[in-house]
Amino acid sequence: MLTFYDSKGLPNPDRVRIALEEKRVMDQVIVKQVDLWKGEHRTEAFKALNPSVTIPLIVLDDGTAISETTAITEYIDHTYPGISLTGRTPKERAVIHMMQRRGEQQIVDAIGAYFHHATPGFGPEIELNQNKAWGEAHLAKTLEGMRYFNDVLEQQPFIAGDGFSMADITVFTGLEFSETYPKVMVPVECTALLAWRARIGARQSCQGLTR
């Protein structure tokens, strides 16, 4: 059975959990919750599995450990039948990849930099190299990203076009984290983004994300 090192309520592991839920395979997975506030990812045992010291991580039956969210979700999408999350044709795959990368850069990673550098983040024992100016710059980047995705969703129903994909999951989890932890809200004028978020949030896979 696949083992999934999770940390509920954080965007990158949430992306993996939603992908597993979309594939309806949570019952085929062993889930291990890792408390990042307690530094449980900084142990030597975890570092041996993932030298990047980040969650999510999956470990396959043969012992192969895979980190990096997009690598994990590619594995999940190609291992289990059902809905396609990363695209079927070369064009779909490229567009989803591109939009997902924009979602990471402009929302997930940007709000993460704000959280880690300009707020207490995971606390003083974990946040050892804070740079407030760097964090504040990423707050501005996040808000710019929200406006960019609002513009995208004024033109099309989903982040990567006509169908639901990993790109939706990525942006959705970034917004959930943003509003739950550093409390950065989607601007009210971003009506297309807010309407899309309500639609995505109604999916069964997206229920109960907070810790």
Ligand X SMILES: N[C@@H](CCC(=O)N[C@@H](CS)C(=O)NCC(=O)O)C(=O)O
* Binding stretches for ligand X (CB under 6 A): 10-12, 36, 41, 54-56, 67-69, 126
* Amino acid symbol at 108: V
Question: Considering beta carbons, is residue 161 or 174 the nearer one to ligand X?
Answer: 174
Distances (CA, A) of 152 to 61, 79, 115, 188: 40, 30, 25, 16
**Minimum distance from residue 8 beta carbon to ligand X (Å):** 11
**Minimum separation from the CB atom of position 192 to ligand X (A):** 26
Please state, in angstroms and rounded to a whole number, the distance separating the CA atoms of residues 39 and 174.
Answer: 21
**Residue (150 or 173) nearer to ligand X, CB:** 173
| Cis peptide upstream of residue 182 (ω within 30 degrees of 0) | no
Q: Two tokens at 100?
A: 């997902």
Minimum Å gap between C-beta 67 and ligand X is 6
Nearest-approach distance from CB 36 to ligand X, in angstroms: 5
Q: Give me the least distance between CB of 207 and ligand X, in Å please.
A: 19
CA distance 114 to 133: 9
**Smaller CB separation from ligand X, 67 or 150:** 67
Q: Are 138 and 204 in contact (CB under 8 A)?
A: no
Beta strands in 25-138 (DSSP E): 29-33, 57-59, 65-67
> Residue 41: how many CB atoms within 10 A of its CB?
21
The nearer residue to ligand X, 69 or 178, going by C-beta atoms, is 69
Task: Report how far residue 102's alpha carbon sits from residue 108's, in angstroms, rounded to the nearest whole number.
Answer: 9
Q: How far is the CB of 97 from ligand X (least distance, A)?
A: 13
Q: Can you tell me which residue has the tokens 């989903």?
A: 158
Whose Cβ is closer to ligand X: residue 10's or residue 59's?
10
Choice between 58 and 153, CB closer to ligand X:
58
How crowded is residue 53: how many other Cβ atoms within 10 Å of its Cβ?
15
